[in-house]
Amino acid sequence: MNQLAITPAQSAIVTSAKYPLSATADFFTAMVAAVENSRRRHQASMQLAHVDARILRDAGISEAQRFLEVNKPFE
């Protein structure tokens, strides 16, 4: 039975080819997570913007704190 022989140079090419694909997948996974996190923060901010003032007082949140949180830039 013949076995396929791989030279060290070929092995280095095959091994290094795995890393860019993994790095690309990691990058896209991180990007999806960042977009999802930004979407959640935006949604929570919009919900906070519409909360009744009485409920804010009960939660111990001032109108100024709400204003700052709603207008906070997403980083």
pTM (whole model) above 0.75:
no
* 3-state class (DSSP) for residue 67: helix
| Tens of pLDDT, residues 59-70 | 999 999 999 999
Question: 23 lies in a domain?
Answer: no
> Does residue 67 lie in a domain region?
yes
**Domain enclosing residue 67, as ranges:** 29-75
Cα–Cα distance list, 17 to 11, 29, 31, 73 (Å): 10, 19, 22, 39
Convert the pLDDT of each residue in 32-62 to its tens digit: 999 999 899 989 999 999 999 999 999 999 9
In total, how many domains does the chain have? 1
CB 51 within 8 A of CB 66: yes
